[in-house]
Amino acid sequence: MLDYYKDSVNSAFENDIIKSTTDFMDSVMEMGLQSKTIEINTFVKALSQSDFQTFDTVYQIFFQTLQTRENHFKLFNLLNDEKEIRVGKLKIGQILIEKYSQTPLNESEKNIINETNAISQELESETREKNIQLENKKVAIAERKRKQEELKNKKK
């Protein structure tokens, strides 16, 4: 069943992913959040690697279904630190910040906010690095084309 999540998320349309997420979270609540840690991580990992990685509606379904502040923060803590899951974990952390940053936070909650900010910085840094690499490739390709044109023109 766990292998199924990635394929079904990747092939879903917007209305499918909303329904699938709602059904998934209903199942999680029925069985208990703690007992579904592997499934939650697998589902969020699939979301993180899909076209729906930043689709707010999906993440809001997590919060609507979980209902309580305790469950909201517990969800974040259940997510592992795999690189492939960071986008989903960041989205969940951002919703936590949005919902609770203006309320008193205990130490555990403050740590989650700090971890969310660290994940955000990591992803931004990686994006900047990828953009630099892309730009360097473009420059190298343009330079190769320019040299080829020079050689072609010299032969004429």
- Compute and round to an integer the Cα radius of gyration of the chain: 21
- What single-letter DSSP state applies at residue 78? H
Look up tokens 């092939």; give the residue: 11
Separation of CA 47 from chain center? 7
CB 92 within 8 A of CB 79: yes
pTM: 0.78
Residue-wise pLDDT tens for the chain (156 aa)? Answer: 556 677 777 777 888 889 999 999 999 999 988 889 999 999 999 999 999 998 999 999 999 999 999 999 999 999 999 999 999 999 999 999 999 999 999 999 999 999 999 999 999 998 888 889 889 888 889 888 888 888 888 776
Q: What was the pLDDT predicted at 120?
A: 95
Contacts for 105 with CB less than 8 Å, ≥ 6 apart: 113
Quote the CA–CA distance of 87 and 120 in Å, as a whole number.
9
Q: What was the pLDDT predicted at 3?
A: 64
Length of the chain: 156
E-strand stretches of the chain:
none
- What single-letter DSSP state applies at residue 53? T
Q: What was the pLDDT predicted at 1?
A: 53
Q: Tell me the CB-side half-sphere exposure of residue 6, using CA atoms within 13 A.
A: 8
Quote the CA–CA distance of 19 and 103 in Å, as a whole number.
32
Amino acid (one-letter) located at 20: S
